[in-house]
Amino acid sequence: MKRAIYPGSFDPITFGHLDIIKRASKLCDELIVGVLNNSQKNPLFSTPERVSIIKELTENLDNVKVECFDGLLVDFAKKKDAQVIIRGLRAVTDFENEIQLAQSNKVQYPELETLFMTTSLQYSYLSSTVAKEFASYGGDISPFVPAEIIPLIEAKLKNKEN
């Protein structure tokens, strides 16, 4: 059983993340989307909200599970008996951070492999931050995130203003 984890904040999930989830799910028996419980980062969506959004958007993918985790990714991987971590790479700017993370995780848990998937060209500019930034100025975010979560993002941003 090859079990992989795709960890991230997913605040909110974008078409770039969903593209990686679909492609990665074809490479393993089970893919766990690991939603980082990062309350100190002051996320737009709570962890349970992010988990439930991703569950809904991936319900057609049979081997994809969505779970949240706290603390170290290596501990979560050990607990889940996962052998592979999937990360997305958009540009060289991602590389420095990612290689450092992957190598530190390897030191901590040598059996764990990190696989990098290159973003699909049409999403290489896309990040959760870009989606939130455009939404906060009333921009059209339909190219960035699935239509069903646009009203949720708008409502959250409105709440933040008040």
Q: Binding site residues for substrate, as ranges?
A: 9, 41, 73, 87
Q: Any contact of residue 90 with ligand ADP (CB under 6 A)?
A: yes
Q: Any contact of residue 25 with ligand ADP (CB under 6 A)?
A: no
Task: Please list every residue from 123 through 162 that binds ligand ADP, using CB under 6 A.
Answer: 123, 126-128
For the CB of residue 158, give the shortest distance to ligand ADP in the complex, in Å: 23
Residue 142 is among the residues annotated as catalytic for this protein:
no
Give residue 32's Cα distance to chain centre: 10
Among 76, 152, 74, 157, residue whose Cα is nearest residue 108: 74
For the CB of residue 119, give the shortest distance to ligand ADP in the complex, in Å: 3
Residue 79 is among the residues annotated as catalytic for this protein:
no
Residue 128 is among the residues annotated as catalytic for this protein:
yes
Give me the active site residues, please.
17, 41, 90, 128
